[in-house]
Amino acid sequence: MALSPAEKQKRYRDRKRAATKGPGDASVAAQAVPFFQFYVEDGNTDGVVIPLRLAGIKPPEFLNDQPAQFPHDLAGVDLPAASNSIARAELTIECLLDAAGALAGIVHRYKQSEIKARIAEIEQADLSDPIAKKQALADIVRLQKMLDQLSKQVRWTFPQWKVAGD
């Protein structure tokens, strides 16, 4: 049976996605020193350790070139392959980005909910006093500006850490 254009496009995207998740980074052939040795000698590891410790997160340790070891409670989950220290570092980056995005979404929804609740309270309040009404309108304008600010996306830039083939 012939494939519809949508099915062809989906299969094409799946092939492209599989190719990028293929057998690792294209720079592997150029890596003579294992990542864990470079990491230990790099003078910028405090830039990783301090922010994570401030957030109450145990920083990753790259003491050897062993594969990643996952907690037993993740059994049954499709776990990524992280066969050495560089793959573990890349996995850590991806997991931290995923977690940061999810947490940012939760904080975003919380703030929107609270701001909308304050606006609703102001709208339900007795505004017969002109001074109170003026203050309430100013508060609503301020809260609306906060909602407008929350409706925007932010972008953080990072150095490229993945290298694709050809």
72: its two tokens: 């037993």
Please give the helix or strand (H or E) that residue 134 lies within, else none: helix 130-150
Query: Is pLDDT above 80 for 136?
Result: yes
Alpha carbon distance 120, 4 (integer Å): 49
| pLDDT on residue 10 | 78
Is residue 142 very low, low, confident or very high in pLDDT (cuts 50, 70, 90)? very high
* Per-domain residue ranges of the chain: 31-68+79-150
Q: What is the pLDDT of residue 6?
A: 82
User: pLDDT by residue (tens digit) across 8-32?
Assistant: 787 877 776 665 554 457 777 788 8
Q: For residue range 60-99, list pLDDT tens digits in order.
A: 999 999 999 888 898 888 888 888 999 999 999 999 999 9
Give the model's confidence band at 109: pLDDT under 50 very low, under 70 low, under 90 confident, else very high.
very high
Give the mean model confidence (pLDDT) for residues 144-152: 97
> How many Å apart are CA 91 and CA 68, to the nearest integer?
9
Whole-model pTM: value is: 0.76
CA 89 from centre of chain: 15
In the predicted model, what is the mean pLDDT of residues 36-60? 95
Instruction: Give the model's pLDDT for residue 21.
Output: 54
Kindly give the interhelix angle for 85-124 and 130-150, rounded to the nearest 10 degrees: 160
For the chain, give the mean pLDDT: 89
Alpha carbon distance 115, 109 (integer Å): 10
- The string of DSSP codes covering 4-71 is PHHHHHHHHHHHHHHHHTSSS-GGGGG--S-HHHHHHH-TTTHHHHHHHHHTT-PPP---S-PPP---
Q: At 84, list the tokens.
A: 């050495």
Reply yes or no on whether the pLDDT at 125 is more than 80.
yes
Q: Contact 86/35 with Cβ under 8 angstroms?
A: yes
What pLDDT is attached to residue 79?
85
